[in-house]
C-alpha cells in the first residue's frame, strides 16, 4: 500500500508539473522567443547530469561567457560534444534560461556547452556569429579538460540560435580549419532563407548589409557540409517551416544527409520546451535529437 501511495503521489506531481508547464508554455508562446529563465527555474531537471562550469569567459565582456554541462556517470571513452546556441531574435536571451537543455543532453552522454553572445542593439550582424564562432573554438580547445573529444562536435540551436549554428556549420568564413571538427548540425525552427529583408527585427539586425544572400545559410550549402537534423513544429507562425524545407532541399541536392522532422501541434516555443521533463510527451524531439547526434558522433 505504501508503494502504491508513493507511486500515486509521484503521478500526481508529474501531472501537476505538466499542467503548470503547459500554462507557462502558453505565456511563453505569447512572448515568442522571450527569455526562458523563469521556465528553466521551475522545471525539474534530468538526473545524471550537472552544471560543471559556469561563467567561463571565452572573450571579453559579460556577454562572452559560457556554461558547461556533463554527465555525472563515469565514461570509459571521451564524450561527444554539443554546442547549443539559444534563440531570442538576435536581441535577447541568456544561457541561464537553458539549463534544462544542457541537463537533458548531458544526461544522455554529451558534454554540452551553452554560450552567451552579444545581441542587438549592442551589436549587429555579423558580431553574434563572431562570438559564437569564438565559443566553438574555445570548446574545441578545452573539451579535453572535461573528458570530451574535441574532434566530435555537434552544433545545435533553436530559432535565431539555429541560424547561427547553421551559418557556422556551412559557411567556412567563421570557423576556418576548425570546421573539420563539426560532425553534424541540429537546427530547431531556424530561419535559413529569409531574404529579402522585410521583418522589422531582421532589418534592425542585418542592416546595412550590401549582399543579403551572403547572410543566408541556403547560399552556402555545398558537398562536404555536416549532416543536418532540421526540425519544426507545424504550428510555428514565427519562423515558417519552409525555411527548414529550403535548407533541407539545398543540402540534399549536393549530397549532404538530412533528417527533416515535423512535429504536430507544436509551435515555435513549444519545439524547444518539449525538451523539458514534463513536456516530453508532446513530441519525441529530445529522443530524435539524441539518436541523430549519437549516430554522427560514433
Helix-then-strand count for the chain, H and E = 10, 8
Total number of domains constituting the chain: 1
Check which CATH number belongs to the domain holding 69 and give it.
Answer: 3.40.50.1820
Q: Which residues pair with 187 in a beta bridge?
A: 157, 230
Q: How far apart, in whole angstroms, are the C-alpha atoms of residue 185 and residue 229?
A: 6
Residue 76's pLDDT is what? 87
Of 108, 90, 206, 80, whose CA–CA distance to 158 is shortest? Answer: 90
What's this model's pTM, rounded to 2 decimal places? 0.90
What pLDDT sits at residue 75?
Answer: 84
Q: In this predicted structure, what is the pLDDT of residue 27? A: 46
Query: Could you list the residue range(s) of the whole structural domain that residue 172 is in?
Result: 2-295
Give the pLDDT confidence score for residue 35 in this predicted structure.
56
Per-residue pLDDT of the chain (298 residues; tens, 9 = 90+): 445 444 444 433 444 444 445 455 554 544 444 558 889 999 999 999 999 999 999 999 999 999 999 999 988 899 999 999 999 999 999 999 999 999 999 999 999 999 999 999 999 999 999 999 999 999 999 999 999 999 999 999 999 999 999 999 999 999 999 999 999 999 999 999 999 999 999 999 998 899 999 999 999 999 999 999 999 999 999 999 999 999 999 999 999 999 999 999 999 999 999 999 999 999 999 999 999 999 999 9
Closest CA to 169 of 108, 102, 93, 247: 247
> Residue written as cell 558547461?
68
Q: For residue 55, what is the enclosing H or E element? A: strand 49-57
Buried b (16+ CB within 10 A) or exposed e, 46-56: beebbbbeeee
| C-alpha cell belonging to residue 108 | 544522455
Amino acid at each position: 500500500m505504501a508503494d502504491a501511495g508513493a507511486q500515486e503521489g509521484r503521478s500526481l506531481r508529474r501531472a501537476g508539473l505538466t499542467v503548470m508547464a503547459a500554462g507557462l508554455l502558453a505565456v511563453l508562446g505569447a512572448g515568442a522567443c522571450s527569455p526562458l529563465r523563469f521556465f528553466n527555474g521551475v522545471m525539474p531537471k534530468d538526473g545524471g547530469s550537472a552544471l560543471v562550469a559556469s561563467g567561463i569567459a571565452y572573450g571579453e565582456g559579460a556577454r562572452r561567457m559560457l556554461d558547461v554541462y556533463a554527465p555525472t556517470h563515469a565514461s570509459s571513452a571521451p564524450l561527444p560534444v554539443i554546442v547549443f546556441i539559444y534563440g531570442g531574435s538576435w536581441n535577447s536571451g541568456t544561457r541561464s534560461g537553458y539549463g534544462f537543455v544542457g541537463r537533458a543532453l548531458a544526461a544522455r552522454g554529451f558534454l554540452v556547452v551553452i554560450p552567451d553572445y552579444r545581441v542587438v542593439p549592442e551589436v549587429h550582424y555579423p558580431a553574434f556569429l563572431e562570438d559564437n564562432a569564438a565559443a566553438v573554438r574555445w570548446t574545441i580547445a578545452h573539451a579535453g579538460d572535461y573528458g570530451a573529444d574535441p574532434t566530435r562536435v555537434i552544433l545545435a540551436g533553436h530559432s535565431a540560435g539555429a541560424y547561427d549554428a547553421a551559418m557556422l556549420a556551412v559557411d567556412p568564413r567563421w570557423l576556418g580549419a576548425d570546421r573539420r571538427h563539426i560532425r553534424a548540425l541540429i537546427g530547431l525552427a531556424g530561419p535559413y532563407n529569409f531574404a529579402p529583408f522585410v521583418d522589422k527585427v531582421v532589418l534592425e539586425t542585418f542592416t546595412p548589409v550590401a549582399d543579403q544572400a551572403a547572410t543566408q545559410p541556403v547560399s552556402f550549402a555545398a558537398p562536404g557540409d555536416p549532416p543536418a537534423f532540421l526540425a519544426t513544429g507545424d504550428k510555428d507562425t514565427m519562423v515558417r517551416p519552409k525555411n527548414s524545407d529550403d535548407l533541407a532541399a539545398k543540402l540534399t541536392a549536393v549530397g549532404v544527409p538530412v533528417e527533416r522532422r515535423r512535429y504536430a501541434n507544436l509551435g515555435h516555443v513549444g519545439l524547444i520546451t518539449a525538451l523539458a521533463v514534463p513536456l516530453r510527451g508532446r513530441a519525441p524531439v529530445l529522443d530524435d535529437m539524441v539518436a541523430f547526434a549519437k549516430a554522427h558522433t560514433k
